[in-house]
Amino acid sequence: MTKLIDFQTDPSRYRHWRVSYDGDIATVAMDVNENGGLFEGYLLKLNSYDLGVDIELADVVQRMRFEHPEVRTVVMRSGKERVFCAGANIKMLGVASHAHKVNFCKFTNETRNTYEAASADSGQKYICAVRGACAGGGYELAIACDYIILADDGSSTVSLPEVPLLAVLPGTGGLTRVTDKRKVRRDLADVFCSTEEGVKGRRAKEWNLVDEIVPNSKFDAIVAQRAREFADGSARKVAGPGVALTPVQRKIGDDGSVAYSLVDVAVDRAARRATITLAGPAGDAPVSVAALHSEGAQTYLLRLARELDDAILHLRLNEDQIGLLIFRSQGDPGQVVAHEQFLLDHRTDWFANEILLYWKRVLKRIDVTSRSLCALVEHGSCFAGVLAELLFAVDRSFMMNGAFDGDNRPPATITLGPSNFGAYPMGNGLTRLQTRFYGTPETIDALAETNGKALLADAAETHGLVTYAPDDVDWEDAVRLFLEERASFSPDAMTGMEANLRFAGPETMETRIFGRLTAWQNWIFQRPNAVGEDGALKRYGSGVRGNFNMQRV
């Protein structure tokens, strides 16, 4: 799988989803093109999916929020007659590398989270209308929705057959959402998750696997009625027009480097690291909401978010030998603050609000990226407000302290704004500052008083905002030694260590999915019982069950 995976798409290129609009109700129909797999070697039968299908879905959800703000309810359904969705394509899983499988699951999890976020943060409610088999990843598509309607026709079922059929776990949050969101009784959840054939009709409703069962004859009418009710019940009062998400401008080099308009990704494969440099705004913040809308997708903070998001995904899937991401920035911190403050001041405008909410998602994507993350706060940098969040997302940070020989850029500073105290919560429900100072909340009160002030290295270090603040004499060695050391460690140990240290304190359904469930799934994805020659994943479809080593671990 060395083909470059492209996370950019648009409706004109969709092969697997059909989207239609009717006032404030949108319908998203899954109609996977069998021959449209991302790679060779498998057919996407029965609405099964691979990463390419999910990239389109992520695009659908994203465009719904920006291009179709008038939408209050999204109905997700199948575009095929007899099947809702058969889940992730098993043949694809059978041939994919371990790293691809894990990153595929991570992305699909993030995509499920985006429509839960669309509902929670923007009042775009998702209804899932299930007719036919809804299995595995298909049911995981459904339980990320707000409401599930199941056809009561004797053949439509919901199921999570991964364990009995494939000897792996449902990889897209299924186990966690069954107990924590659907609140299915744990012994019934155990039955459900070990039953190949799934559950249908009345029992599916009784166990709370679905919200409503409806005879086939009334199915379309009830779905339409519920869509209308959810739309009417939504607090969302936005008419549009939307903002077109015009193509992200970028140029990908043969060495994996990417040049965007505001983001530069320099890939050094030999050293196993990538340097991501973010540029500050070239101009002033918009002067009015009308001006913001007229800038559209080109407005600084939206453009930067889209480019950064794409860069992270590109590195995750296309550059798996890169163990370390280094964040840099160059620009005017005052301008960054001004652009962000404009959005914060105009959150009642849906578009301003959506840009801030998008940053919340981009930052969360960085939090769960399994690469060592570090930040270099250099002279001339603009780690202010939302960009300062990157400093609290990384595992370590270095900040230039004092004058550097021959460096005439403005001295390195960090500027906190109001957004750092609440606008971008992590998956654990805390701000990045709350997570960082989990033991000393009083530190955060002291930081709140620096609001808007550009802190030099000594102050930043005293406040605990950076790990190290070396001067001209020490900087180069300190950074170089860290980068070399980090690149020498076992990447597996780094992945495990970072997954544990990044999320102090409380857990949520989201962190449970990325932490507990993902870790177990990664473990099982390694085990011969699943992926060995005689494992269930390899043998699937052969008519022969997996041959298991029965030792319990």
How many C-alpha atoms does 548 have within 13 Å on its Cβ side?
17
**Minimum CB distance to its own copies smaller for 23 or for 505:** 505
Asked if 48 contacts 88 with a C-beta cutoff of 8 angstroms, the reply is: yes
Q: 146 or 498: whose CB is closer to its own copies?
A: 498
Rounded to the nearest angstrom, the gap between the alpha carbon of residue 412 and the centroid of all alpha carbons in its chain is: 31
Q: Which is nearer to its own copies, 132 or 174 (CB)?
A: 174
Nearest to 94 by CA among 139, 170, 41: 41
Q: Yes or no: say if 323 and 272 are a contact pair by the CB < 8 Å rule.
A: yes
266/499 with CB nearer its own copies: 499
State which residue, 250 or 486, has the beta carbon closest to its own copies.
486
Task: Tokens for 345, please give them.
Answer: 């001041």
Our CB check for its own copies shows the closer of 71 and 311 to be: 311
Judged by beta carbon, residue 102 or residue 308, the one nearer its own copies is 102
**Nearest CB to its own copies, comparing residues 222 and 504:** 504
Q: How far is the CB of 206 from its own copies (least distance, A)?
A: 11
Contact of 528 with 535, CB cutoff 8 Å: yes
Contact between 383 and 458 under an 8 Å Cβ cutoff? The reply is: no
Residue 101 beta carbon to its own copies: minimum distance, rounded to whole angstroms? 9
Q: Which is nearer to its own copies, 187 or 449 (CB)?
A: 187
Q: How far is the CB of 528 from its own copies (least distance, A)?
A: 9
Query: Would you mind telling me the total number of residues written for the chain in this entry?
Result: 553
| Interaxial angle between packed helices 350-367 and 300-318, expressed in degrees from 0 to 180 and rounded to the nearest 10 | 30
Backbone angles phi, psi at 74, to 5 degrees: -115, 125
Q: Please, what is the minimum distance in Å from the beta carbon of residue 433 to its own copies?
A: 11
As measured in angstroms, the least distance from the Cβ of 523 to its own copies is 4
Of 13 and 202, the one with the shorter C-beta distance to its own copies is 202
- What distance in Å separates the CA atoms of residue 23 and residue 99, rounded to the nearest whole number? 42
Q: What is the DSSP code string of 334-361?
A: HHHHHHHHHHHHTTTSHHHHHHHHHHHH
Whole-number Å distance between alpha carbons of 95 and 102: 13
CB of 480 to its own copies, least distance (A): 16
* Residue 120 near residue 510, CB atoms below 8 Å: no
Least CB distance to its own copies at residue 370 (A): 6
* 8 Å CB contact between 148 and 98: no
Minimum distance, C-beta of residue 95 to its own copies, in the bound complex (Å): 17
Bridge partners of 274, per DSSP, are: 267, 325
Q: State which residue, 29 or 497, has the beta carbon closest to its own copies.
A: 497
Which residues in 156-179 are b (16+ Cβ under 10 Å) and which e? bbbbbbbbebbbbbbbbbbbbbbb
Which residue, 40 or 187, is less far from its own copies as judged by CB? 187
Three-state SS sequence of 361-372 = HHHHHHHCCCCE
Amino acid at 100: H
Q: Which is nearer to its own copies, 421 or 520 (CB)?
A: 520
What are the residues whose beta carbons fall under 8 Å from the beta carbon of 323, sequence distance 6 or more? 272, 273, 371, 372, 486, 487, 489, 491, 494
Answer whether 335's CB lies under 8 Å from 262's CB: no
Q: At its nearest, how many Å lie between its own copies and the CB of residue 269?
A: 10
Q: How far is the CB of 192 from its own copies (least distance, A)?
A: 10
Q: Exposed e or buried b for every residue in 528-541, given b needs 16+ CB within 10 A?
A: ebbbbeebbbbbbe
Angle at 282 (CA atoms; ends 285, 307), nearest 5 degrees = 95
Closest separation in Å from C-beta 280 to its own copies: 24
Cβ at position 10, least distance to its own copies in Å: 29
> Is the CB of residue 537 less than 8 Å from the CB of residue 530?
yes
The tokens describing 258, both together, are 């990417």
Q: How near is the Cβ of 161 to its own copies at its closest, in Å? A: 11
Token digits for 422?
A: 């609440």
When computed from its CA atoms, the radius of gyration of the chain, rounded to whole angstroms, is 24
Could you tell me the smallest distance in angstroms from the CB atom of residue 369 to its own copies?
9
Nearer to its own copies, 4 or 553 (CB): 553
